[in-house]
Amino acid sequence: MAVFGASLRGIVGHWRIAGHWRIAGHWRIVGRRGAPPRRFARLRAAVTQPRAFLGRSGSQRIRAGAWVLWSKARQGNQQPLSDAFIDNEKGNLMPDERPLGSQGLTASSQGLGCMGMSEFYGAPDEAESIATIHRALDLGVTLLDTADMYGQGANERLVGAAIRDRRDEVVLATKFGIVRDPDNPTARGVNGSPEYVRTAADRSLSRLGTDRIDLYYQHRVDPDVPIEETVGAMAELIQQGKVRYLGLSEASAETVRRAHSVHPITALQTEYSLWTRDVEASVLPTLRELDIALVAYSPLGRGFLTGSLRQQSDIPPGDFRATNPRFQGGNLQANLAPLAVVERLAIANHVTTAQIALAWVHAQGQDIFPIPGTKRRSYLEQNVAAASVKLTSDELQQLSAAFPPGATAGDRYEDMSRIEA
Ligand SMILES: NC(=O)c1ccc[n+]([C@@H]2O[C@H](COP(=O)([O-])OP(=O)(O)OC[C@H]3O[C@@H](n4cnc5c(N)ncnc54)[C@H](OP(=O)(O)O)[C@@H]3O)[C@@H](O)[C@H]2O)c1
């Protein structure tokens, strides 16, 4: 049935977002910064809150319908975005706060990865990055992820500066163990010796401008130092009040088990997304047995699962992805085939491709905390809203079937030797 040239189903539809009935038809310019214009807030509320809308006057209904049409008229080459984005402005769809692991830490169900604010993904923009961190805190994202190696300390300094006046709102997570060479930005070493653990923690505390790290991860397992020694030194940091909870990153199930027997491990941080499902085989079952949370890094496939990187020319020069195997020629082309399934479901659900990819990660369990990375408020708002996008079991199955474990073309890193199987 046509109403003002749009189908009735297009205007009033059952959206599986936060369990509410919603009016469909919101559109937003992709990449526009900041929140939607406030002058439309009341009208938008009428559109996005059907119960309130249905209880209002006829003129308000007409204005709401007009807003839908106006929004659609602005569409052009814009991309549809869910009402969840708009609700964020009102603070309705904050990610829930829940236990992260079983040692007493709680955090938002979705975090913010801060790495790309300083290095690896295009040119940094410090002012927008700090605004993004503040917006994350405003939206209830409490888990902030950094590491001493990101920007060779610059990322910890940036995060520290951003949270200086809001430290108590943050679950601050950082990492040690990947050693950089200031003269060769691509060189990497690993150090898990107890002496290095102590030095690295003090340096991170200083850069972050805080007296405590909430979640301290070993970034990569050092094959030359028994994990028991590294974790023993990390546990001493807890006794000294410098660290609250411990984590590992990219550790095997066996290493996690050994570490956990020395001191309880709260979280394992590992890459997990539609195109990286390696953890499902043995790591995730072990984490569940031991009540350890999985913090899912690169849940957007380093941007690939947003649909914005389709050819090598989409990758800026000097970007980490320019040499990452998965983004090279034939591999990149091969990986686009399953991405089409994500894009089709995004259109069907009136959300973005990124939101579908994140919703799939959220649907894999309450013990999984994705930390999508961005240096822009516009992406952050979209990603936070994804925590409320509910996919049907059939849709989840379609996604899982399109990306079977191990099927992605290309390794995750050029050098896989530091990744424990
Ligand atoms: N433990 C480890 O070894 C490890 C390794 C890698 C990452 N991490 C952590 O995990 C965090 C997240 O991973 P990641 O940053 O590598 O990958 P990601 O979250 O999968 O993707 C980040 C990329 O996607 C883009 N993006 C984000 N939201 C988007 C949206 N809604 N629409 C379109 N594009 C969007 C970002 O663009 P912009 O940058 O332009 O905003 C960036 O290029 C990092 O920040 C870091 O804290 C840990």
CB-ligand 1 contact for 371 (6 Å cutoff): yes
Residue 83 scores a pLDDT above 90 = no
Bridge pairing between strands 12-17 and 20-23 = antiparallel
Q: Which helix (H) or strand (E) holds 399?
A: helix 393-402
Q: Which of 87-96, 266-275, 308-317 has the highest mean pLDDT?
A: 266-275
The CA dihedral of 104, 267, 228, 218, to the nearest 10 degrees, is: -120
Closest CA to 205 of 177, 174, 179, 182: 174
Residue of 167, 171, 56 whose CA lies nearest to 104: 171
* pLDDT for the residue 49: 34
pLDDT at position 184, please?
A: 87
Q: Is 243 helix (H, G, I), strand (E, B) or coil?
A: strand
Measuring from atom 8 of ligand 1, which residue has the nearest CA? 297
Q: Is 53 in the pocket of ligand 1 (CB under 6 A)?
A: no
> For residue 343, what pLDDT is reported?
98
State residue 2's pLDDT score.
Answer: 29
Alpha-carbon distances, residue 127 vs 130, 159, 161 (angstroms): 5, 12, 11
At residue 326, what are phi and psi to the nearest 5 degrees?
Answer: -70, -20
φ and ψ at residue 412, rounded to 5 degrees: -70, -30
Structure pTM?
0.83
Average pLDDT over residues 390-417: 95
User: Percent of the chain having pLDDT more than 70?
Assistant: 78
* Residue scoring higher pLDDT (37 or 390): 390
Whether residue 298 has its Cβ less than 6 Å from ligand 1: yes
Task: Give me the pLDDT at residue 93, please.
Answer: 65
| Predicted confidence (pLDDT) per residue in 93-109, tens digit | 678 999 999 999 999 99
Q: What is the pLDDT of residues 47-78, one digit of tens each?
A: 333 333 333 333 333 333 333 333 333 333 33
Distance 263 CA to ligand 1 centre (A): 30
The total number of residues written for the chain in this structure: 421
Q: Write the residue with the smallest CA distance to atom 31 of ligand 1.
A: 379
Residue located nearest, by CA, to atom 15 of ligand 1 = 373
Residue 354 Cβ inside 6 Å of ligand 1? The answer reads: yes
Known active-site residue 196: no
Cα three-residue angle 302-353-313, rounded to 5 degrees = 50
Average pLDDT over residues 353-364: 98
User: Does the CB atom of residue 140 touch ligand 1 within 6 A?
Assistant: no
Query: By mean pLDDT, which of 23-32, 181-190, 207-216 is the weakest?
Result: 23-32
The answer, yes or no, to whether residue 138 has pLDDT greater than 90, is: yes
Could you give the CA distance from residue 230 to residue 228 in angstroms, rounded to a whole number? Answer: 6
- pLDDT tops 90 at residue 80: no
The active-site residue out of 150, 217, 245, 379 is: 150
Q: What are the pLDDT digits (tens) for 197-230?
A: 999 999 999 999 999 999 999 999 999 999 999 9
Q: How far apart are CA 120 and CA 146, in angstroms?
A: 13
Tell me, in angstroms, the distance from the centre of ligand 1 to residue 391's CA: 22
Q: Decide whether any atom of ligand 1 lies within 6 Å of the 111 Cβ.
A: no
pLDDT surpasses 70 at 145: yes
Higher confidence at residue 94 or residue 395? 395
The predicted structure's pLDDT at residue 136: 98
